[in-house]
Structure 1
Amino acid sequence: MDYTDGFFQEIMFQNGNVLRIDNALIEEVYKTNQRTGYVLISYGIEDRTNRINNDFLRLNVGKDTIIMNQFGETLCLCDLAEGITVDAEFSSAMTRSIPPQTRAFRIIANTEAPTVMVKTDRVVNTDEENGFLTTGNPYDINDQMIFTISGETIIIDQNYNQISLNEIQPGQLVRVEHAIFQTLSIPPKARLFLFSFFKQGKKGL
């Protein structure tokens, strides 16, 4: 494929030396480690007879390549897989091999909507009897969040040992994985899945 012909602008967007393809399909992922390797993508291109053909491009992934999902969450090369669609930004300098190869600057994977959010904050108080954990600013209710704890909630320390809620003290720094859905109350409430804390307590990390 001659990337200088009239079809070039129909499938790619160019900004200086950076090219972009949207909604390409991952055909293969090769990893030398979690940060380097390559991604082979395919994309539809219309020929002179108005037929849509698949073309291929190998994106070489290096340590400086940004990999993320459409929600802005950072991913690694190991999170990419065959069948995922991506928006890719890459160098306009390509090899003449089949398929052509180029350096990938940014790969945005179109993944499913996240069901879990992660938050790191200070403990305001705990209520073991009713199964609540409150985090945030102890002096501002508008800057707090309440997490509901069920029998399925996992509570661990920084050594991955399971502990009980009554071992957590106000002021300790905790990391929580919770449901993306939140109530409209003040403070908002969300279901807590995984909860870990750091022994450094009030001094932080």
Structure 2
Amino acid sequence: MKFNKILVFTIAGTILTSSLIASAEYNPNKVTKGPITTMNVKVSEELQDSYDNMKFVLVINGKGLDLKENNIYTKDNTIMIPLRIVSKALEYEIKWNNEEKTIDLTKGPHWITIKPGEDYYTFGKKAPIKLGTASEILKDRTYVPLSFLTDVLNIDVSIDETGVININSENSISEKKELLEIQGEITEINKTEKSTMIWIKGKKTDAGEKSVILHINDETPIVNPITDEELSIKDLKEGDTVRGFYGPAMTKSIPPQGKAEKIQILKDITVRTGKITSIMNNEKANQILIGDKANGIVLNISKETKIVTQDNKELSFEDLEEGMEIEAFHSIIMTMSLPPISSAQKIVVKNTDI
């Protein structure tokens, strides 16, 4: 592949073979005892900082970046850029983690790790991302592939035919967020000038942590999930049962901290998700079974039970079918039977063409 073919497209999602520069972390005050271990990172003798005498120029949010001695170069048709100077321009804090031997980038709740010399990049608690190009150390500076910006940091990047690389962190590429969730009790609320922090303690599930601190502000959606009424921060109280949704970008602290994408105030209800495995219709009540008889729950469906699609289209009990994936909001009061029986207040049918 000729490199000049790379310069004609806008990088969105995966940048074919382009990559980003990263700079190595160096602490001049650090004393290392014993033998010093270095990473054997091979750097090509044929690295170039231009193509057909065309110099690369970095522009971040409309401002040119003075790279000083941190040259952009290409290797195997991959653009490599310096990590430290670019990260700082994007307002990321950059540190060397001596224990894990990683470079850590942080910005608010965002936390990224890079292993120098390896094709290993992580964002929050997501699985490691492979970009097809390892970061490498050149002249005591760490470089990463340009695709690090788009595929890991989710930043909009484009390259024009003159070699200008435009990086726009204010216009990030939209993506479907993989939200995690926690259902539990608010044990503590702390307010700062910029945001409010709520500490939620619950049960650990596959969908998230058992204890998290979520940062919320006036823009965070806070709702009553039954009526869809919009609420505010002042409606949150210590002791309330809530359901918090948050992204995978979390701090390493205990408990981890992150930004809340949405808060549902549950109070005296709880949420169960799963498949409808049985539908019972008799003179006494309409009922559905979620899960199996050993670990599931039977829900009574009354005239007051709200049944809707994810798009909030109203449905009836007759629209429910076995095999449907649903989200059921029901009373915390349940019978002692097996399976337990409770009253459903709202049923949300997922992924349906109804």
Sort the TM-score into its range (normalised by shorter chain). Answer: 0.3 to 0.5
Normalising to structure 1: TM-score of the pair? 0.47
The higher relative CO (CA closer than 8 Å, separation ≥ 6) is in: 1
If each structure's strand is expressed as a fraction of its own residues, which one has the higher value? 1
